Amino acid sequence: MRALQMVDWNHDPEFAEVSEPDAGPGEIVITVGGAGVCHSDLHLLYEFPAGAMPWTLPMTLGHENAGFVHQLGPGVSGLEVGQPVAVYGPWGCGLCPACARGEENYCQRAALGTPVAGLGADGGMAEFLRVPGVRHLVPLPDPLGPVDAAPLTDAGLTPYHAVNRARHLLTPGNTAVVIGVGGLGHLAIQILRSTTYARVVAVDVKSEALYLARSCGADHVVPVGDATAGGIRELTGGRGADAIFDMVGSDDTLGLAGATVAVNGHIGLVGLAGGSLPVSLLGLPFGVTVTPTYWGTLPELHEVLQLAARGDLCAHKVTYPLGRADEAYAAVRAGSLLGRAVVVP
Ligand SMILES: [Zn+2]
Ligand SMILES: [Zn+2]
């Protein structure tokens, strides 16, 4: 079968002919129905130093996956061939207390870089994907299909988890700011809109992204520029924002978050741009929490999919056939794509 692979560090992805996976004991092979193109893949492909992760290349890309059960390995039960499923991406050990709570994204035994589909192990940019156990699959609630579900497994789940960490602050009268209205950011706005009472402010460089933010339910949009911080302060009566979700994570965006967060506020750091925010007693408002988060939990993925099934969460998508998956990556890299690119093999 054809697969789009990471072949080397600081290198364009390339198509390769690879053998179809076969489900071993306990494993499941799914027919990929949708695989999202994530901006973090671009950091990985083009910015990480060679060997930054302990992975063997080449590796098939794609860590946002959903599809249909194709083959059940020996000993697998509880699923039927043809059943639509989403793949929960962060695979932990399954045994530690964090994994027992469904928080495999914070597994106490899996280090960052432990191979999961599309991040160290072969991912969903191919016709078939091998999943090592039923624990990593979530049956899709009706009427959700794999094309809609795929981007939600990361671009939906990650902001949902970040929002959950600040939910106590997202009350009527309080303000949430989403910095960066890309694949994750436009879904963060929908999640804030449909599951909290906070006023939602979106910040982005591009006017099309701010238009998308409006259509996703943002109450206010603020373009990036000299007046951004002042604009957020003005919208909050000078108090600052109660929760800020930084979907970019650069020095600039973290600086903006630090300059506009309210006393006792929260900064959720989601974006992988590698920036930093100095912490000092008088450098940030008192009581501020800064929380870098990684992906989300298995119970949260169930909730995200339910939210989508009832019509409250839907990725703005551009779909590509597998044969043009390389173009999808190029479009995301060029910044010319709004919302999420989803490869449909
Ligand atoms: Zn991702
Ligand atoms: Zn674990």
For 117-137, how does the pLDDT look when each residue is reduced to its tens digit (9 = 90+)?
999 999 999 999 999 999 999
CB 267 within 8 A of CB 244: yes
All residues with CB under 5 Å from ion ligand 2: 92-93, 96, 99, 107, 109
Average pLDDT over residues 226-231: 96
Residue 284 Cα to ligand 1 midpoint, Å, equals 29
Count Cβ atoms below 10 Å from residue 283 Cβ, excluding itself: 10
Average pLDDT over residues 256-272: 97
Residue 102 Cα to ligand 2 midpoint, Å, equals 9
Q: Torsion-angle region of residue 237: left (phi > 0), alpha (psi -120 to 50) or beta?
A: left
Tell me the two tokens of residue 54: 């302990």
Helix (H) or strand (E) holding 65: strand 64-72
All residues with CB under 5 Å from ion ligand 1: 38, 40, 154
Find the angle CA(155)-CA(284)-CA(213) to the nearest 5 degrees: 30
Helix (H) or strand (E) holding 146: helix 146-151
Sign of CA dihedral 235, 241, 242, 245: positive
Q: Quick one: which of 206, 63, 205 has its CA closest to 122? A: 63
Q: What is the pLDDT of residue 328?
A: 97
Check pLDDT > 90 for residue 300.
Answer: yes
Residue 298 Cα to ligand 2 midpoint, Å, equals 12
Average pLDDT over residues 70-96: 97
Count Cβ atoms below 10 Å from residue 238 Cβ, excluding itself: 8
pLDDT digits (tens, 9 = 90+) for 154-210: 999 999 999 999 999 999 999 999 999 999 999 999 999 999 999 999 999 999 999
Q: Quick one: which of 247, 239, 297 has its CA closest to 267? A: 247
Q: What is the pLDDT of residue 102?
A: 97
Tell me the two tokens of residue 106: 């914070």
Strand 59-60: give its sheet, edge to edge.
Answer: 14-17, 2-6, 59-60
Q: What is the pLDDT of residue 111?
A: 80
Identify the DSSP state of 54.
Answer: -
pLDDT digits (tens, 9 = 90+) for 309-330: 999 999 999 999 999 999 999 9
